[in-house]
Structure 1
Amino acid sequence: MSRQKENILFDLDGTLTDPKEGITKCVEYALNKFDIHVDHIDQLIPYIGPPLHESFVELGGLSPENALLAVEYYRERFRAVGMFENSVIPGFPELLQYLQDEGYSLYVATSKPTVFAEQILKHFELDHYFKHIVGSNLDGTRSKKQEVIQFVLDENQISPEQAIMIGDREHDIIGAIGCGVESIGVLFGYGSEQELRSAGADHIAAGVEEIRNIISHIGNGDYSYGYTK
């Protein structure tokens, strides 16, 4: 049976994997270079998800120029150790296998640089599930989530009506809306339910199994399951 929405796009950080330890330690490392210190590393959780340069400006209070330096300091530690201070969200390998077996085409759309996303997914043996892994460029271009999603759609000749975007932060939802793509916000990442609803998520999933249920209902033409409007 053919489905209208047979292409599933996933965010990486906070959706497929929990990168808290690596990202917060790398942010701390970068901020320390500017003599900025935090009382507890959990204060840096808001850096998980949004484009890094944007976060160093908006959250760290750095100038755009210093934010560029901070990104380089961040990557210095991230390349060496940070990218693997990470873990797969429990249940996701099984979900990806199920969706692949059901004939869905799976993609990754992340603000993290593509080269790092590819290495992380390969490290956790998840890369083979995805037809295309797309992130930002190392020079800072294509860092907005809408740009990443649109690139996945364009490169794979997917119409917005044929896709679903799954993510844990408002940037995922706003990016999906900007591309005309239906969205599922997940609550096991780093965005609150209020954040996801306010951003306009079409569906909310409390856990991995609920993602499967929502996709199954959509595949059967039932768009009301998990609907937030």
Structure 2
Amino acid sequence: MKDYDYYFFDLDGTLIDSSEGIIHSIQYAIEKMEIPVSQDLDYYLFIGPPIIESFQSFLSLDEKRAREAISLYRECFKDKGIVENKIYDGMVECLSKLKESGKKLAIATSKPEIFAKQIVEFLQLEEYFDGVFGATLDDGVRSEKADVIGYAMENLGVNHEANILMIGDRKHDILGAKENNLDSAGVLWGFGSATELETCQPDYILSSPLALLSLEE
């Protein structure tokens, strides 16, 4: 196995189950805007991609309406969604062992950085990470996962030769890693399917957080 020096983690669906807060906030925006939705709408599809992309794709909103929905979504999320998150079983042990072995850990998420940092602080995960990097509240800046990963690399002072592994549950994580010439690991405990991940051809597919430690053996 390759010896990685840096581990970049996605947040939603990789480190934490954030579905409760995200879905509540989406439903809040839909209700406020009186957007008609089908009863079988799969809200889990919203989790992972840039939020403007999800609102446009799954609710058929134009850009102006999507941005209005995002404002309402964040109005709810900043008060409630920040605390409606659960760390996946085995993740703290995984982070602890990686840190003890001298690895550098960072978060690279499409979630606005200000929210990501608040969540990490609320869940008391700050001690494990050398940086938390995310999108801006302006969806035109660092809205793509590749941009967030590049931003994390720039701030940590590293390039693709630094042996970095990007870990995430959606295709955006894998494709973003490839755009930055990084190895990637797709995880099956999040919101993406095995088919979605396999189509993107990550270097690894992991079934549990502790399986990540086997890459160090």
Q: Which residue of 2 aligns with 1:15?
A: 14
Instruction: Please report the RMSD computed on the Cα atoms of aligned residues, expressed in angstroms.
Output: 1.5
Q: Which residue of 1 aligns with 2:186?
A: 185
Q: Deviations over 1:73-125 (max 9, x none)?
A: 00000011122111011111111110000000000000000010000011010
Runs of 4+ more than 3 Å apart: 37-42
Partner Cα separation in structure 2 for residue 157 and residue 4 of structure 1:
19
Contact 1:48 1:190 in 2 (8 A): yes
Over 3 Å counting, the alpha-carbon distance change for 1:40 and 1:207 in structure 2 is: farther
Contact 1:52 1:71 in 2 (8 A): yes
Partner Cα separation in structure 2 for residue 40 and residue 211 of structure 1:
37
Partner Cα separation in structure 1 for residue 25 and residue 40 of structure 2:
10
- Give secondary structure in 2 for the equivalent of 1:190: coil
Q: Which residue of 2 aligns with 1:100?
A: 99
Over 3 Å counting, the alpha-carbon distance change for 1:74 and 1:9 in structure 2 is: same
Using the size of structure 2 for normalisation, the TM-score is: 0.94
- The structure showing larger relative contact order (alpha-carbon pairs under 8 Å, at least 6 residues apart) is 2
Partner Cα separation in structure 1 for residue 135 and residue 151 of structure 2:
10
Contact 1:10 1:108 in 2 (8 A): yes
Is 1:204 aligned to residue 205 of structure 2? Answer: yes
Which residue identity is paired with 1:189? G
- Structure 2, gaps ≥5 residues long: none
Q: How does 1:43-58 map to 2 (within 5 A)?
A: 43-58=42-57
- Give secondary structure in 1 for the equivalent of 2:142: coil
Deviation of the 1:36 alpha carbon: 2.1
Deviation of the 1:40 alpha carbon: 5.4
Partner Cα separation in structure 2 for residue 193 and residue 82 of structure 1:
27
Which residue identity is paired with 1:146? A
Partner Cα separation in structure 2 for residue 13 and residue 194 of structure 1:
19
Which residue identity is paired with 2:191? Y
Using the size of structure 1 for normalisation, the TM-score is: 0.90
- Give secondary structure in 1 for the equivalent of 2:178: helix
Q: How many residues align?
A: 214
Partner Cα separation in structure 1 for residue 53 and residue 39 of structure 2:
21
Contact 1:111 1:143 in 2 (8 A): yes
Which residue identity is paired with 1:107? A
Over 3 Å counting, the alpha-carbon distance change for 1:32 and 1:153 in structure 2 is: same
Which residue identity is paired with 1:131? D
Contact 1:24 1:41 in 2 (8 A): no
Q: Which residue of 1 aligns with 2:165?
A: 164
